[in-house]
Amino acid sequence: MAALNLISEALQKGKAEDVKKMVTDALAEKVAPKKILEEGLIAGMDIIGGRFKRNEIYIPEVLIAARAMHAGMSVLEPMLIKAGVKMIGKLAIGTVKGDLHDIGKNLVAMMYKGAGFNVVDLGVDVAADKYVKAATDGADIIGLSALLTTTMVAMKGVIESLKEKGAKAKVIIGGAPVTQNYSDEIGANGYAADAASAVEIGKKLLGK
């Protein structure tokens, strides 16, 4: 049987093809999709998130591990849906209006996927009404990313629009110029300095 810790290890090393094969083998051996997700893929991504946060590894290693996670998920996702496995929450994330930087936003999205969230990537240059629609469509968390001092101000408008519509989604913000002070000032529910902390805060806000 493909041991689940071997899937986790291959993911951490970024061996996408090995992860895909091991997930396929585990499914063929009737290991429950949820077990493969939690004890193989998420366990591996969890370790990557922790090492990234402690500066033991850097962005390229995270991206390579995330690619391996995607390879495993491409096989596992249809089985999870078939088995009716509920993801732990839904994140809708985008870079705010006027801002085209997406590397950090993509990292946050990948970490959330790695933690077992359903992730809707709204892309870059995202207007407030798109976040509102995502919240109306059931997102538990709205993630706002900004890399420019000139665009981070758009975050305030998004939060106001969400409040106006009575949206219940929690708002997490981040990006190089963003600070905890700014987050408090505009009434966001959470601020994270990096992708791994963003997941920790998201889980905490949802009580997971």
Where do contacts with ligand B1M occur on this chain (CB under 6 A)?
59, 93, 98-105, 107-108, 143-145, 147-150, 172-177, 192, 194-195, 198
User: Residue 17 CB, nearest distance to ligand B1M (Å)?
Assistant: 26
**Residue 93: strand, helix, or coil:** strand
| Among the listed residues 142, 144, 156, 148, the one whose alpha carbon sits nearest the alpha carbon of residue 176 | 148
- β-sheet bridge partners, residue 91: 119, 141
Of 16 and 93, nearer to ligand B1M (C-beta) is 93
How many residues comprise the chain? 208
Of 12 and 183, nearer to ligand B1M (C-beta) is 183
User: Residue 102 CB, nearest distance to ligand B1M (Å)?
Assistant: 4
Of 81 and 103, nearer to ligand B1M (C-beta) is 103
User: Residue 152 CB, nearest distance to ligand B1M (Å)?
Assistant: 8
Of 43 and 201, nearer to ligand B1M (C-beta) is 201
**Rounded Cα–Cα distance for residues 179 and 176 (Å):** 8
**Rounded Cα–Cα distance for residues 114 and 37 (Å):** 9
**Rounded Cα–Cα distance for residues 83 and 168 (Å):** 28
Of 8 and 145, nearer to ligand B1M (C-beta) is 145
| N-terminal to C-terminal alpha carbon distance within the chain | 31
